[in-house]
Amino acid sequence: MGMPELAGKIHDESRQGEAVAAFKHDPTTYKKLFYIESYGCAMNFADTEVVASILNTEGFGATRNVEEADLIFLNTCSIREKAEMTVRKRLTEFKLLKKKKTGMLIGMLGCMAERLKSKLLEEEKLVDMVVGPDAYRSLPALIKEAETGQKAVNVLLSREETYGDIAPIRLDSNGVCAFVSIMRGCNNMCSFCVVPFTRGRERSRDAHSIISEVIELFNTGYREVTLLGQNVDSYYWIDEQKDETVTFAKLLEKVAMVNPLLRVRFSTSHPKDITDEVLFTIARHENICNYIHLPVQSGSTRILQLMNRTYTREWYIGKVNRIREILPDCGLSTDMITGFCTETEEDHQDSYSLMEYCKYDLAYMYYYSERPGTLAEKRYEDDIPEEVKKRRLQEIIALHRIHSLESMQRDVHKTFKVLIEANSKKSETDWHGRTDHNKVVIFPKGDYQLQKGDYVQVKINRCTAGTLLGEIVGNQTA
**CATH code assigned at 428:** 2.40.50.140
End-to-end CA distance of the chain: 37
**Residue 448 domain boundaries:** 415-472
> Torsions phi, psi of 327, nearest 5?
-125, 80
Do 257 and 390 belong together in one domain? yes
How far is residue 130's CA from residue 150's CA, in Å, rounded to a whole number? 12
334 DSSP 8-state letter: E
Give the integer Cα–Cα distance in Å for 276 and 117.
43
387 and 350 within one domain: yes
Residues 6+ apart with CB under 8 A from 408: 439, 463, 464, 465, 466, 467, 468
Contact 79, 41 (CB under 8 A): yes
- 3-class secondary-structure state, position 339: coil
Do residues 352 and 447 both lie within one domain? no
Together in a domain, 199 and 336: yes
Domain for residue 23, yes or no?
Answer: yes
Out of 363, 382, 410, pick the residue that ends a domain. Answer: 410
Give the integer Cα–Cα distance in Å for 220 and 427. Answer: 27
Q: Does residue 380 share a domain with residue 362? A: yes
Are 230 and 377 contained in the same domain?
yes
Amino acid, single-letter form, for residue 217: L
Quick one: pLDDT at residue 349? 98
Do 128 and 62 belong together in one domain? yes
Q: Is residue 231 part of a domain?
A: yes
Decide if 353 is inside a domain.
yes
Q: How many CA atoms lie within 13 A of 468 on its CB side?
A: 31
pLDDT at 133: 92
Determine the pLDDT at residue 3.
Answer: 58
Whether pTM > 0.75 for this model: the answer is yes
Please choose, from the candidates 28, 59, 62, the residue with its C-alpha nearest in 3D space to the C-alpha of residue 48.
62
CATH number of the domain within which 83 lies: 3.40.50.12160
Residues 374 and 446 in one domain: no
Q: Which pLDDT does position 118 carry in this prediction?
A: 76
Cβ atoms of residues 339 and 393 within 8 Å = yes
What is residue 388's DSSP assignment?
H
SS3 246: strand
Is there a single domain that holds both residue 395 and residue 270? yes
Among 369, 387, 410, give the residue marking a domain's end.
Answer: 410
* In-domain check, residue 17: yes
Based on the fold, state whether residues 450 and 350 are members of the same structural domain: no
Contacts by 89-94, CB closer than 8 A, 24 or more apart: 90/9, 90/37, 91/120, 91/126, 91/127, 92/126, 94/66, 94/126
Q: How many domains does the chain have?
A: 3
Q: In terms of domains, do 311 and 329 share one?
A: yes
Alpha-carbon Rg for the chain, nearest whole angstrom, is 22
Per-10-residue mean pLDDT of the chain, 478 residues long, equals 45 30 48 88 88 92 91 84 81 90 91 78 83 94 93 90 89 88 94 90 95 96 95 94 94 98 96 96 97 98 98 98 97 98 98 98 95 93 97 98 97 97 94 96 94 96 96 74
Asked whether residue 478 is assigned to any structural domain, the reply reads no
Considering the domain boundaries, does residue 163 fall inside one?
no
Query: pLDDT per residue over 110-147, tens digit each?
Result: 888 877 777 777 767 889 999 999 999 999 999 999 99
In a domain, 69, yes or no: yes
pLDDT tens, position by position, 412-466: 999 999 999 999 999 999 999 999 999 999 999 999 999 999 999 999 999 999 9
CA angle 29, 11, 21 (to 5 degrees): 45
Residue 177: phi, psi to the nearest 5?
Answer: -115, 140
Q: Do residues 292 and 332 touch, judged by C-beta distance below 8 A? A: yes
Does residue 98 lie within any of the structural domains?
A: yes
From 410, 427, 452, the end of a domain falls on 410
- CATH no. for residue 248? 3.80.30.20
160 backbone dihedrals φ, ψ, rounded to 5° = -125, -25
Q: Are residues 66 and 183 in the same domain?
A: no
